[in-house]
Chain A
């Protein structure tokens, strides 16, 4: 996306507490957005006006004085009056949970309560502004593991465990892939040894064809499904178009080696526990 996301952070009413508004403005800037802060004491009309003039993608309202029930919906109607109701409005501050359904009914897209990490708000805005491109534009977070094909895990254990002294995280059988795997922890990533369980296993075929050795590199990602869709839209050759279950309660999918000069990449998403 060429254009930066533009956000208007506004303080409707007379409330002077703008620590939260300022912190969020700064955090969104750190996420690469352009943020316009209105300053204190803005009327709903002024806020709508500023949103239109500044051509923003989203408006964030902050109120800590208890006036949100009156003022937030007024911002929505001010936007309607100026034919700008397509600009989504989100809100936060000291807002009792029981008021949230009312505010959402009045057209506020989402209300964030105290304690929400700014990261969550930034992700939400990205998603809101461009649902197809949200997390997909984020690069993969790290190398989840490096997969090494071996005929027999027991035969190579002593190299990894005794000689290198790596910590064994565990064994697991993944029947869907026909493999038994061993994970060794190394820094924030790991080495995954893959041993074929039967002759149908892709690992068996790989070893037959190319011998033992590095098999694939796995990348840790978010929103694997959206990402696969996004790659497919861009004609990236995929082995799996939808994710399947992997080891350690993860979802995985392989890109075709044609996508990356013969390197086999795996995407994997670990569910938060």
Chain B
């Protein structure tokens, strides 16, 4: 019986390969090793059984354990997407153009903390933080500078923005309009994942309920007007950075994913309307095989959740598509060049796990924001894996490994146990409000620290194999002058815009906020176009929604 199912799956896969390669031909007519041994598209068990057909199947087929596309990287490599942004919009624009020239295929915007928490650069709360961890965006003017000479119909842009995601997305749409690019053609991703902000990352503004409303408003608006945009990137990355284990990373992320699906369904959307635009974002740490198994398990669990639990019918709703970033917290300030090796291992795990896009960290990130040279090495690391290692020449090369498959099964089991536990709380939102996930992560983080201090875990160069070193590498500094300049910029914008129009649009936003049935996106877009600032828009919503103040 397994055999028959297997043969059917195989036939279907072959058809899908044909369709896919017609659209995206494979990179080469045929693939070979250095010894001219032919490399097949996919390797399969000699005696497939029921278990294989059920749990592994074929790439591009439910439950997607072996990958979400039929040919994976034989057709196209993953998207190499380096997160960048610092200082002013103009400076970041230069870095973006440099990265595009270097062969990067997508943009990823880092915003500074005031932007992420909805404060203008001249707000007293923003002091000392302007332009530090990303680019400062106050008004549409800054967004225009950020994408100057970058045609938005030719790049896909990922924006790490959560609480004010609606505002920054509106600005992106507005810049597109000015460039003559219709909304329907915009591609990219907003992070828009507020739940992990409460759990791990900290850039929340509003309480959970209105935050979830903003998110479902975006789902609904984009489904109608910006259909190619990924409306959320449900992120385990920060959960892992906060100290969770690999299992907790997947479990809490998928639990959050379910909370978004529940919220969208509750607001009246149909699952197949928005689920195909859900994307995920995971971490890649050092424990090589566990990481690979983690990605494979996550795909399988999500597919089952979407198909069996939510009854989604569109296969696109079943597919867990994800971006990966290598693990910032695994990098050491000591002997920073060693970090290049760590990043290589982590990036390789992400590729072997079937990631759709990848950011490789720079070696100096434990010390400061990366320099141009470090950022280039990080990108080159991906390019070497893609072009020189040959790991992309066959789909899921580790599939069928006893170890990998067993790890995949074990992770799946443990993740499901966590998800059950979270269901008992009443879902992710409730579990977060009760501090459950935060406590679990904190416990894991503390245990990891103790293992390092007792040398049960060795971190090369940090608690073993140390050298006396001068730590004065060349580091990127953000000029303190920038904060001053950016404050003046935002004040200039306020002095030159049509103030009554701004007030008008902010008022209509306020009224919309009071009506729970109203979608806020069109109102935010109007306010943005009138050059209302991120801070002004968020302050209106703060007044209406209140602020979240932590546990």
Show the binding face of A for B, using Cβ within 8 Å. Answer: 13-19, 22-23, 26-27, 39-41, 43, 65-67, 69-71, 74, 94, 96-98, 113-115, 117-119
Contacts of A71 in B (CB 8 A): 127-128
Least CB separation from B333: chain A residue: A114
Contact A16 B201 (CB under 8 A): yes
Is the CB–CB distance between A67 and B129 below 8 Å?
Answer: yes
B445 touches A14 (CB 8 A): no
Chain A residues in 8 Å Cβ range of B127:
13, 70-71, 74
B126 interface residue, CB < 8 Å from A?
yes
In the complex, the answer to whether B133 meets A66 with C-beta atoms within 8 Å is: yes
Please, could you name 6 A-B residue pairs with CB atoms under 8 Å apart, sorted by A? Answer: A13-B113, A13-B127, A39-B550, A69-B128, A70-B128, A114-B366
Contact B368 A94 (CB under 8 A): yes
Query: Which residues on the B side are within 8 Å of A18 (C-beta)?
Result: 202, 242
Q: Is the interface of B mostly helix, strand, loop or mixed?
A: loop
Residue numbers of B with Cβ under 8 A of A are 113-114, 116-117, 119, 124-129, 132-133, 197, 201-203, 241-243, 329, 332-334, 366-369, 442, 445-446, 449, 452-453, 459, 462-463, 471-472, 475, 478, 480, 550-551
The verdict on A16 contacting B241 (CB below 8 Å), with A70-B128, A96-B367, A118-B449 known, is: no
**Distance from B405 Cβ to chain A, minimum over Cβ atoms (Å):** 32
> In angstroms, how far is the closest chain A Cβ from the Cβ of B502?
25
Question: A69 — which chain B residues lie within 8 A by C-beta?
Answer: 128, 480
CB-nearest residue of chain B relative to A17? B202
Docked CA distance A41–B113 (Å): 11
In the bound complex, CA of A231 to CA of B332 (Å): 41
B residues in contact with A17, CB < 8 Å: 201-202, 241-242
Q: How far is the CB of A246 from chain B (nearest CB, A)?
A: 27
**Alpha-carbon distance between A22 and B116 when the two chains are bound, in angstroms:** 22
Question: Which residue of the partner chain A has the closest CB to B331?
Answer: A114
Closest to B130 in A: A67
**CB-based closest 5 A-B pairs:** A16-B202, A70-B128, A14-B113, A67-B128, A66-B132
Q: A98-B472, A114-B332, A115-B462 are in contact. Are A66 and B478 (CB under 8 A)?
A: yes
Out of B132, B242, B332, which one reaches A67, CB within 8 Å? B132
Chain A nearest CB from B23 CB (Å) reads: 41
Whether A113 contacts B126 by the Cβ 8 Å rule is no
B129 to chain A, nearest CB (A): 5
- The answer on a CB contact under 8 Å between A40 and B202 is yes
Known: A71-B128, A115-B333. A96 touches B368 (CB 8 A): yes
Choose from B197, B445, B551 the contact partner of A16 (Cβ within 8 Å): B197
Check B126 against A14 for contact (C-beta < 8 Å): yes
Q: How far is the CA of A224 from the CA of B249 in the complex (A)?
A: 47
A119 and B132 contact, Cβ closer than 8 Å, known pairs A18-B202, A94-B366, A94-B368: no
Residues in A neighbouring B475, C-beta threshold 8 A: 96, 98
B550 touches A113 (CB 8 A): no
Using Cβ atoms and an 8 Å threshold, which residues of chain A touch B472? Answer: 97-98
On chain A, the residues within 8 Å of B368 by CB distance are 66, 94, 96
Q: A135 to B471: give the CA distance in the assembly, Å.
A: 30
Cα distance A96–B471 when bound, in Å?
9
Q: Check if B243 sits within 8 Å of A19, measured CB to CB.
A: yes
Q: Could you tell me the distance between the alpha carbons of A19 and B199 in the complex, rounded to whole angstroms?
A: 11
Chain B residues whose C-beta falls within 8 Å of the C-beta of A66 in the assembled complex: 129, 132-133, 368-369, 478
Cβ A115 vs Cβ B332 within 8 A = yes
Contacts of A118 in B (CB 8 A): 449, 453
Residue among B129, B333, B369, B446 making CB contact with A13, cutoff 8 Å = B129
**Which residue in A19, A70, A113 is a CB contact (below 8 Å) of B329?**
A19
Closest beta carbon of chain A to B124's beta carbon, Å: 8
Instruction: Say yes or no: A22 contacts B445, CB within 8 Å.
Output: yes
Contact between chains at B445 and A19 (CB < 8 Å):
yes
Give min CB distance, B437 to chain A, whole Å.
Answer: 14
